[in-house]
């Protein structure tokens, strides 16, 4: 019998206990799932950074750590973590992100706020948004989430350019990579969506110089991670009108402090890191199937590259 340790925030236990147990059975695994196994007995850890495990060194027989989160920046550098770390890639997580990105893209594209905030009896019928085909969108990061969001936007008619570290071919998206590719991807983009991981290479990727490449009046949508954006540069671009609006879901400090200028800025929408969350039913299936692969001697899926940090 495999021993699987659940190490996430305590309130998650009730949400995950039954879905994980069911998924293990469906995957043909016999599992003792608990929150209090002795570290030296644990075969796999279901992990979130806000759970109790901080030191992985006592987990001497653990074959893999299965993250409930897609972003792994808070654990990837943990020197005690010598076991393989698998990040979360799950269809429901992706679907949630597609809906959030498409929703906020359409809100900015259609200029919805102008009408929502102008229910004052004045008939303003002179401003039309362009059709999507005339609104270039750039997605920074075209991995599991960025590629799916980009393709959903293509289905709506937006011309989408994506940017990644390595050369990629994502159907229907113009794919760029490297420094020159970033310049091309951002130049004249009207909407930028950030879905990069937080690594030393991606910190402040959207800085003064790169904001300047965007089309005048562009929109910035960040469901990736807070440090991807130079906050002072974005606030300056918003104040100058270079950037017309921003929807920000993630921040350097979370919860975003109540006195942060983003809260008060009229052209910024703050959402509290809710763009997409891991769903217990589907995430449990992903974890169980990955453990079953490992037990069958197959390669684990979604293993984090420690050197790259994602």
Bridge partners, 268 (sequence order): 246
Q: Which CB, 136 or 197, lies closer to ligand NAP?
A: 197
Shortest Cβ 224–ligand NAP spacing (Å): 5
State yes or no: is 225 an active-site residue. yes
Residues that bind ligand NAP (CB under 6 A): 70-71, 89, 93, 141-146, 163-166, 168, 195-199, 201-202, 223-225, 249-250, 273, 275-276, 310
Residue closest to ligand NAP, measured at CB: 143
Minimum distance from residue 22 beta carbon to ligand NAP (Å): 24
CA 175, 165, 69, 227 torsion-angle sign? negative
| Nearest Cα to Cα of residue 192 among 132, 134, 253, 150 | 150
Q: Is 284:261 a contact under the CB 8 Å cutoff?
A: no
Q: How far is the CB of 211 from ligand NAP (least distance, A)?
A: 17
117 catalytic, yes or no? no
Q: How far is the CB of 218 from ligand NAP (least distance, A)?
A: 20
Measured CA to CA, the distance from residue 222 to residue 245 in angstroms comes to 11
Q: For residues 142 and 170, what is the distance between their CA atoms, to the nearest angstrom?
A: 8
The residue among 5 and 193 lying less far from ligand NAP, judged by its C-beta, is 193
From the list 210, 216, 70, 206, the residue with the least C-alpha distance to 143 is 70
Closer to ligand NAP by Cβ: residue 7 or 276: 276
Looking at the Cβ atoms of 26 and 254, the one nearer to ligand NAP is 254
CA dist., res. 199 & res. 240, Å (int): 29
Dist CA 289 CA 266 (whole Å): 46
φ, ψ of residue 48 in degrees (nearest 5): -135, 145
Other Cβ atoms within 10 Å of 29 Cβ, number: 17
Residue in 12, 37, 108, 225 annotated catalytic: 225
Out of 252, 260, 273, 306, the active site residue is 273
Q: Least distance from C-beta 94 to ligand NAP, angstroms?
A: 8
Q: Which CB, 16 or 163, lies closer to ligand NAP?
A: 163
3 state DSSP class of 222: strand
**28 vs 272, which CB is nearer to ligand NAP?**
272
Contact 141, 197 (CB under 8 A): yes
- Helix-strand-coil split of the chain, %, nearest 5: 35, 15, 50
Alpha-helical segments (H) within 212-260: 231-240
Smallest distance from ligand NAP to CB 266, Å = 23
Give the residue numbers marked as catalytic. Answer: 225, 273
């Amino acid at each position: 019998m495999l021993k699987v340790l659940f190490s996430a925030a305590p309130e998650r236990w009730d949400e995950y206990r039954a879905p994980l147990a069911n998924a293990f059975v469906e995957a043909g695994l016999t599992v003792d799932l608990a929150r209090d196994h002795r570290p030296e007995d644990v075969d796999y850890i279901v992990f979130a950074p806000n759970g109790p495990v901080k030191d992985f060194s006592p987990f001497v027989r653990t074959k893999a750590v299965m993250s409930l989160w897609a972003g792994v920046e808070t654990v990837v550098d943990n020197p005690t973590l010598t076991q393989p770390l698998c990040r979360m890639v799950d269809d429901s997580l992706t679907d949630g992100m597609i809906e959030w990105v498409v929703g906020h893209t359409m809100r900015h594209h259609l200029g919805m706020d102008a009408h929502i905030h102008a229910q004052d009896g004045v008939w303003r019928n002179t401003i039309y948004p362009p059709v999507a085909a005339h609104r270039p969108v750039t997605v920074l990061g075209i991995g599991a989430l960025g590629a799916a969001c980009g393709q959903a936007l293509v289905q709506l008619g937006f011309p989408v350019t994506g940017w990644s570290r390595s050369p990629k071919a994502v159907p229907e998206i113009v794919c760029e990579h490297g420094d020159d590719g970033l310049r091309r991807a951002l130049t004249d983009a009207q909407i930028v969506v950030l879905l990069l991981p937080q690594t030393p290479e991606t910190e402040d990727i959207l800085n003064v110089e790169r904001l300047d490449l965007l089309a005048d009046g562009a929109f910035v949508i960040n469901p990736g991670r807070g440090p991807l954006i130079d906050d002072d540069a974005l606030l300056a671009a918003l104040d100058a009108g270079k950037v017309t609006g921003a929807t920000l879901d993630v921040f350097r400090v979370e919860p975003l402090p109540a006195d942060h200028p983003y809260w008060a800025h009229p052209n910024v929408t703050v959402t509290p890191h809710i763009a997409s969350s891991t769903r217990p039913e589907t995430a449990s299936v992903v974890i169980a199937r990955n453990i079953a692969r490992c037990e069958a001697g197959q390669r684990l899926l979604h293993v984090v590259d420690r050197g790259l940090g994602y």
